[in-house]
A and B are shown apart, each in its own frame.
Chain A
C-alpha cells in the first residue's frame, strides 16, 4: 500500500506541478466565471447560463487535462528513464501502471473539484445578483458577486503563489494550484451554507462528466505505455470521438431547469456503464506493460 500511495502521490504532484495544468485550470475558471457575464445573451436565464458554462468548462478543459496530463506523465516517465529507476525497485510492472493511472485520476479529480466548486458559487452568485438586479433595475449588478468570486479563485492564487515562490521558495505552480483548491473549498462551503440543495442538484450532472473523463484517463494511460506521444494522443482522440454520444449526458442539465434534478439511481447506472470501459483500458495497459521491453 505504501508503494502504491508513493506512486499515486508523485504522479498527482507531477501533473499538478506542470504549468500546462495551471493554464488549463485558469482557462476553465475563466470560462466558468466570464462566459455567463455576457448578460445581454442570457434571455432571462442567468443561472442556467452560469451552470452550463461551468459544466462546459468541466467537460472540455477537464477532458484536455485528463488526456494530456496522463499522457505526458506516462511518456515522460518512459522517455526520461525514471521508469527504469522505479522498476529497479521492488514494484511490479502492473502495480506501477495501476498506481500511476490512479495518480493521474487524482490530479484530474482535484481539478474537477476546484472547477465544480467555483461553478457552484457562480450559479449561486447569479441567483443573488439576479435578485439585486431585479430590485435595483441595474443589470450590471447581476455579475458583481460572480466576478468577485471569480477573481478570488484566479488572480489571488496566482499572486499569492508568486509571493510564496519569491519569499518562501515554494513551487509557484503547485502553490497556485493549492491556493485555488483552497479558494474552491471556500466557495463550495459558502454555496453549501447558502443553498445545500443546489449542491445536491448539480453534483449528479458533474459526476456524469467526471465519469467520461475517467475513461479518457484510463485510455491515455493504456496507449501511452506502448506508443509515442503523438500516436497515443491520436488514439485517445479516437476514444473521445467514440465517447461523444455519451456526452448526451451533458444535455441532462436540462433536467435541472425549474428546480429539477438528476436521480442518483441514474448516476449509479452511469457509473456501472463506465466501469467496463475503464476496466478494459486498465487491462490493456497492464497487458502492454507486462509484455514489452521497457527501455
Chain B
C-alpha cells in the first residue's frame, strides 16, 4: 500500500470563458505530495489557487495539464472518493432537510446501510453537540451550527483522508478551538488531513507540513517546525506585505 495519498505533478488549471478563451491561470505547475497520516496545510492569500487545487483533488474540476492521483487513482474514481471526507469553505447544506436527515443523506451517498447510518448519525450529532436539535431543518441553523453539521457530514463515511477548506471559517473562538482539537484528535488517530487556511496561527497549531501558494504557484514548502521563524513572518517574507490598499494615503488625502 502506497504512503502517498495525494500526488500532484506539474498540475495546471486555466479557466476559460464561454468562447474558450483563457481568462485566468488559477494553478500553474503545482507539484505536491501528501503522505499518509500527516496534516498538510495549503496556505496563501485570496486568489492564490488553494480552493481550485482542492476542487481538482476532489474531482470537481479537471486539470488543464499535469497529473493528479488520489489514492493512486484518478480523482473522478468513485473508489478513490469513497475514502475521503470534505468540508467546504461554506457549509453547503440542503436547508429543507433536518440535521438528522442531512447526515443520513450523506450516509446514503457513502453507501452505508440504514442501521449503520442511523448509528453514525447519532454518534456524530453527539460529537458536534447538536443531538438536541437533530430534528430541526438546517435552514434555520446559525452559521456555526451549520458548520458543525457539515463537519459531521464530512466524517460520516469514516474517511481515511479529510479535506478541510478553511475549517474555522465563520466560527467563534470557542468553536474554532474545538475544531482544532478535533483535527488534532483525528490526526492522532491516523487520519490524513489536507487543510487550507487564511489563519496562520491555526495552521501553525495543527499542520505538520505546509505549502505556501501565490498566484497559483508554490513559493515554499516545508515542515512547520523547520521554518525557523513564526509562520506569519515566513508567510509575509514569501508572499509579500499586503500594502496595495494605500489606506493611510487615502485617509490622509
Contact = CB atoms under 8 A, between A and B. Distances in A.
A202 B21 CA distance: 55
A3 B105 CA distance: 9
Interface residues of B, number: 39
Interface string A77-93: 00011101111111111
Contact of B96 (A5, A86, A93, A171): A171
A88 B90 contact: no
A81 B88 contact: yes
A90 B110 contact: yes
Contact of B92 (A13, A14, A85, A171): A85
A18 B79 CA distance: 34
B92 A295 contact: no
Given A81-B88, A85-B86, A2 B60 contact: no
Contacts of A14: 94, 96-97
Contact of A84 (B79, B92, B105): B92
A291 B107 CA distance: 27
Interface in A1-52: 2-3, 5-7, 9-10, 13-14, 17-18
A6 B92 contact: no
Contacts of B190: none
B217 interface: no
B249 interface: no
Given A10-B105, A81-B90, A87 B137 contact: no
Majority SS at the chain A contact face: helix
Contacts of A89: 81, 106, 109-110, 157
Interface residues of A, number: 29
Contact of A5 (B78, B108, B163): B108
Contacts, number: 93
B60 A293 contact: yes
Interface in B51-70: 55, 58-62
Interface of A: 2-3, 5-7, 9-10, 13-14, 17-18, 80-82, 84-93, 169, 171, 293-295
Given A2-B108, A85-B150, A88-B88, 19 more contacts: A6-B108, A9-B105, A10-B94, A13-B101, A84-B60, A84-B88, A85-B153, A86-B106, A88-B81, A88-B84, A88-B86, A88-B163, A90-B78, A90-B79, A90-B110, A91-B109, A294-B61, A295-B55, A295-B60
30 contacts: A2-B111, A3-B108, A5-B108, A6-B105, A7-B109, A10-B94, A10-B101, A13-B96, A13-B97, A14-B94, A80-B92, A82-B92, A82-B93, A84-B60, A84-B86, A84-B92, A85-B153, A88-B58, A88-B81, A89-B106, A89-B109, A89-B157, A90-B109, A90-B111, A93-B76, A169-B135, A169-B136, A171-B96, A294-B60, A295-B55
Q: Please list the 4 inter-chain residue pairs (A to B) with the smallest Cβ-Cβ separation, ordered nearest first.
A: A6-B108, A81-B92, A88-B86, A90-B82
Interface of B: 55, 58-62, 76, 78-79, 81-82, 84-86, 88, 90, 92-94, 96-97, 101, 104-113, 135-137, 150, 153, 157, 163
